[in-house]
Every structure is written in structure tokens, then in C-alpha cells.
Amino acid sequence: MTDRGAVVIVENDKVALIRREKAGRVYYVFPGGKQEIGETIEQCAKREAFEELGVEVEIGELLTTVPYNGIQHYFCAKITGGQFGTGQAEEFMEADNGTYLPVWIKASDLYGKNVIPAIVVQVLNMKKEG
């Protein structure tokens, strides 16, 4: 079990996600991945945003944590540089790993999508309403 750092980026009422297609299944995940030895969980989230989306981010508040094969940490983040959609994460290149596509989804459309984990969408919506 390894902790995971992920980013929740909202711009112009759209959320940055990775559209995954694997084994005939389509779903969406927040950009993120496993924490490496020697890095903080915030550094992990920042690195993963660059690897998966091609953007530099400023890490903000911790939005929520989800226990799953360790602890998954979801941070609010703001894009500060780079170009969205240019990520070159190594898992993108593995043929048997399905497809990875960085996308912007309207926040109001999140409930109609298979976003994993769904609890992050719920917490994000509560934050928006609160």
C-alpha cells in the first residue's frame, strides 16, 4: 500500500480529469498517482499533474482524503504554467493499460459521468455550495 497524491483543478466551472478507457469500460479519474520515496504528498500531487496533464500547479488546500490501498489525498490546485494535454506519463505509453485522455468536464456534468472516486465529486460540490 502506497499513499497517492492527486489534484482537483477547477477553471471556468470546468474540472480537469483523465478520461480512461480500459477493458471496454469508460471512467474518469482525477490526475494523480503514487507517492515516491523522499517526496511529500504535496510534491507527489504536483509531479503527477505535470506528468499526466503537462501543467505546473500550485497546490492549495487538502480537499479530502479517501482510504484505498493506502490514503489518497486530493488537493485543490491552480494551473500556473505548462500546456494542458501535453503530459507524458509512462503509463500512457503502456499498450495494455488502456487509454488516458486529459479532458475538461463541466462541473454540472460530473454527476452524469463515472468519476472515480465519486466521493471527491460530492465533496467538491459541497465546497462549491458552502
**CATH for 123:** 3.90.79.10
Helix (H, G, I), strand (E, B) or coil at 51: helix
| 8 Å CB contact between 21 and 98 | yes
pLDDT at 127: 80
Q: Which three cell numbers stand for residue 106?
A: 463541466
The pLDDT, as a whole number, for residue 94 is 67
Instruction: Specify the pLDDT at position 70.
Output: 93
d(CA 81, CA 54): 9
- What pLDDT was estimated at residue 130? 61
What pLDDT is attached to residue 14? 97
Rounded CA gap, 120 and 65, in Å?
9
Q: Taking a C-beta distance cutoff of 8 angstroms, is the pair 120, 8 a contact?
A: yes
Low-confidence ranges of the chain (pLDDT < 50): none
Q: What is the pLDDT of residue 91?
A: 72
User: What is the pTM for the complete model shown?
Assistant: 0.93
If one counts the domains in the chain, the total is 1
Q: What is the pLDDT of residue 39?
A: 97
Please tell me the predicted confidence (pLDDT) of residue 105: 97
Helix (H, G, I), strand (E, B) or coil at 128: helix
Q: For residue 7, give Cα distances in angstroms to 23, 42, 94, 95.
A: 25, 9, 23, 25
Instruction: Tell me the C-alpha distance between 70 and 129, whole Å.
Output: 29
Give residue 19's domain range.
Answer: 4-129
